Amino acid sequence: MPITRLDEYPVHQVPEPLHVPATGDRNAYDRYWFNGYDRDAAFTFGVALGLYPNRDVMDGSLSVLVDGVQHSFHGSRRAPLERTETGVGPLRIEIVEPLRRLRVVLDPNDTGLACDLTFSARTPAMQENRATMRVGSRVMLDLTRFTQLGVWDGRIEVPGRSLVVDRSRVVGTRDRSWGVRPVGEPEGGAPMPFSTILWLWAPVHFDDHAVLWGSFEGADGRPWHASGKRVPTFDPSDAVPPDADAGVEELTLVRHDLTFTPGTRYVSGGELRMARASGEELRLSLEPVARFAMAGLGYGHPTWGHGTWHGESSTEGERWVLADEDPMAVHLQHVQQVCRFREGDRQGVGVLEQLFFGPHGRYGFGGLLDPAP
């Protein structure tokens, strides 16, 4: 069994080298994910890089939405044993300072996309509640995630255009998650019974604080996973304050009241309601201004889905004019919408991520993928 550099550190959790996962589940994964957006939604981008140790695959994507066109780079490779190697072809992620600053680079390549971007945190890393989902006796989802909001600097090249990314205008979010979730080629055996999924996730920037909503729920509208946070922000040019975690305030998710764009399942507006420990209720109203397809980062992509084997090394580019795409296509149901948020008299900006399949009584959806009237 080979030994790698991380084995030099006292971080082992099981009696195996660090490149050997604690679980033999073929759907084990470990992922980096980022988004960024101009405050007026002039452009939006996302980055993902995932390791699937029991599938022996590592993949990554950069996707950029500008002028209604979403451009994507996808790459895949055989997973390296050295876990500090976080790159796929021309795409790589560099940890400049853990939990503080990370760099994303996509070197020039034949897709016409490239970038050199630096993410600087303006909040501490917030651990969300562990999410576990069983379908019958099978564990389909069991993961831990931390989330961090920040600002971006650098540049992005898309075919025929160069985008300047400046922290005064471009904010975003990153997360790290790991555990088990459905990835890769389908497994054999009896088909799993269907279970409604409504996933809502909203990291929101305000001037002096940030708010996070995350929930999974079923057809009856009851959440089986919920995580809410309110946290003060700090200057992204400064070091992370040593007591930053002390400012993270746990919120109770109370209710969401959403409207949907006719002919789709995309949220068109509404409100997220949360309660502080004091009993004070926070109400976040939202107004979507741009829609980003998460398939551009491999989520639900029919070809470049996470953990899919594409050979020893493979890259590809693609381009969608979103207005020409079918809004009810299965792979376009997982979206993030850049939104204007309001909390009382405070204005903020963030995203609402949603994934919605199946019936939902309160919102009047009766089938697997029927659209709003």
Answer whether residue 288 shows pLDDT above 80: yes
State the sign of the Cα–Cα–Cα–Cα dihedral 356, 126, 173, 82.
negative
Q: Are strands 346-357 and 335-343 parallel, antiparallel or unpaired?
A: antiparallel
Digit-coded pLDDT (tens) for 180-197: 999 999 877 888 788 899
Q: How far, in Å, CA of 67 to CA of 88, rounded?
A: 28
Q: How far, in Å, CA of 117 to CA of 115, rounded?
A: 6
| CB neighbourhood size of 182 (10 A) | 16
Digit-coded pLDDT (tens) for 79-103: 999 999 999 999 999 999 999 999 9
State the sign of the Cα–Cα–Cα–Cα dihedral 150, 154, 157, 160.
positive
Answer whether residue 302 shows pLDDT above 90: yes
Digit-coded pLDDT (tens) for 55-70: 999 999 999 999 999 9
Question: What is the 3-state composition of the chain as percent helix, strand, coil, each rounded to the nearest 5?
Answer: 5, 55, 40
Q: How far, in Å, CA of 215 to CA of 189, rounded?
A: 30
Give me the DSSP letters along 116-127.
Answer: EEEEEESS--EE
Length of the chain: 373
Domain layout of the chain by residue ranges: 24-184+195-357
In 3D space, the residue among 78, 342, 329, 29 whose CA is nearest the CA of residue 206 turns out to be 342
pLDDT of residue 291: 98
pLDDT of residue 237: 87
Strands (E), 69-137: 69-78, 87-88, 91-97, 101-106, 114-121, 126-127, 131-135
% of residues, the chain, pLDDT over 70: 100
In 3D space, the residue among 295, 327, 323 whose CA is nearest the CA of residue 308 turns out to be 295
| CB neighbourhood size of 265 (10 A) | 23
Place of tokens 């708010």: 211
pLDDT of residue 207: 95
Q: How far, in Å, CA of 14 to CA of 164, rounded?
A: 45
CB 314 within 8 A of CB 308: no
* Arithmetic mean of pLDDT, 224-229: 96
Digit-coded pLDDT (tens) for 113-134: 999 999 999 999 999 999 998 8
CB 274 within 8 A of CB 213: yes
Q: How far, in Å, CA of 34 to CA of 85, rounded?
A: 18
State both tokens at 104: 């994303």
Question: SS3 of 79, please?
Answer: coil
The mean predicted confidence, pLDDT, of the chain is 95
Comparing 243 with 148, which gets the higher pLDDT? 148
Q: How far, in Å, CA of 100 to CA of 98, rounded?
A: 5
Residue 363: half-sphere exposure toward Cβ, Cα within 13 Å: 32
CB 336 within 8 A of CB 292: yes
CB 44 within 8 A of CB 72: no
CB 357 within 8 A of CB 265: no
Specify the fold of 24-184+195-357: AttH-like fold (2.40.370)
Supply the Cα-derived Rg of the chain in whole angstroms. Answer: 20
In 3D space, the residue among 44, 30, 40, 42 whose CA is nearest the CA of residue 353 turns out to be 44
CB 340 within 8 A of CB 202: no
Answer whether residue 243 shows pLDDT above 90: no
